[in-house]
Amino acid sequence: MVAYKLGTYTVTAVKLINTSNQRIALDPRTLQGDFYAATFQHGFLDRAGTPEDTTVVYLVTQGGGLNKRILPSAFLDTEKEERKSEPRPFATDSDVDPEGDML
């Protein structure tokens, strides 16, 4: 969505949309990356098609944008083959430009 920079810190707001039919609990401790801080605007994403299926995660990084601080998806998805047909509810590498800003 948008990123702001102050000195060596960058705050990136990423819009999350749940495309599954399951409610998802959100916990910043489960994020995998080198973040200075992270928080979700809401504590859960409800099923797709409901008003609560969308929220924002705010990620604070130091010394670079998300492209330098988020782990590659290959490390995040250990059960990739089993869940290949399921839609992913979160932004992917293709949603971020080389500078770490959202497209």
Best CA proximity match to 42, nearest among 29, 50, 53, 30? 53
Best CA proximity match to 43, nearest among 32, 61, 30? 30
Task: Give the start-to-end residue ranges of the domains of the chain.
Answer: 2-69
Per-residue pLDDT tens over the stretch 88-102: 444 444 444 445 444
The number of beta carbons lying within 10 Å of the beta carbon of residue 76 is: 15
Best CA proximity match to 23, nearest among 89, 84, 67? 89
How far is the C-alpha of 70 from the C-alpha of 93, rounded, in Å?
Answer: 9
pTM over 0.85: no
Per-residue pLDDT tens over the stretch 37-71: 999 999 999 999 999 999 999 999 998 777 677 66
Q: Is the Cβ–Cβ distance between 36 and 15 less than 8 Å?
A: no
